[in-house]
Amino acid sequence: MAKKKKYSYSQLLKRLGAYIYKDKKKFTFAIILLVLGNFALSIAPKLVGNVVDLLSSWVQNGYVGFDINYLALYLLGISALYVFGNGSTILANRITLVISRKVTRVFRNRLYVKLNKVPINYLDTHSSGDIMARLTNDLITFETFISSDLTDFIVQILILILVFVMMILVNPYLTAIYAVLLPIAFIITAIMTKKTKTQFKIQQSSVGELNGF
């Protein structure tokens, strides 16, 4: 029996990148939309806080200096940020979904061609449920990875940098505490990921056995 060839994460991402590269303009545009959308949604709460402070100041001063036009302009800006943030996120998710389905269709066609070329003894020595799991569950997981997980990972890295800068501007002391706790969170996440990876393999094997009944 041929030994399975194992790939590292970097090799898998490199092979995956070759397929996404064909739609690099759309993918890059989606990333830009997600970054701008998340940035707009992160600014909006700060403006809401400014409006609350402004209203409190007017109430305490007996509405002296109250300017309805200034307040309306603030509220209009907040509404525009929320509309742009949510709209760009929806559009970006739509673009990445189309790309993921396109890549998944290519992989599904390649799997179909591969199945027609494998020898009969392969089908006899492998569970039909395991083969079905590769054709369905694995491809669905792969599609989800492209449409959401991969883009979320890239965007969250960029958002983390933006949020870190905003935190420094708002409160440097809390930022210092956050900077100390962040590496601890990364270590815990790495440990949990290592454990869940083993459990995920067991789950996929169980799904294959279940589909074989």
Kindly list the structural domains of the chain, giving each domain's residue range(s) and its CATH number in brackets, ordered by start.
10-211 (1.20.1560.10)
Q: What is the pLDDT of residue 208?
A: 58
Exposure b/e, 31-46, CB count within 10 A at least 16 = b: bebbbebbbbbebbee
Of 142 and 87, the one with more pLDDT: 87
Q: What's the CA gap between 28 and 140, in Å, rounded?
A: 23
- How many angstroms separate the first and last alpha carbons of the chain? 24
Q: What is the mean pLDDT of residues 17-27?
A: 82
Q: What's the CA gap between 95 and 155, in Å, rounded?
A: 15
Q: What is the pLDDT of residue 87?
A: 93
Mean pLDDT of the chain: 78
Tens of pLDDT along 166-195?
778 877 887 888 788 878 888 888 787 777
- The radius of gyration computed from the CA coordinates of the chain, to the nearest angstrom, equals 25
Instruction: Report the range of poorest mean pLDDT among 79-83, 110-114, 115-119, 136-140.
Output: 136-140
Q: What is the mean pLDDT of residues 66-72?
A: 77
pTM equals 0.64
Q: What is the pLDDT of residue 213?
A: 56
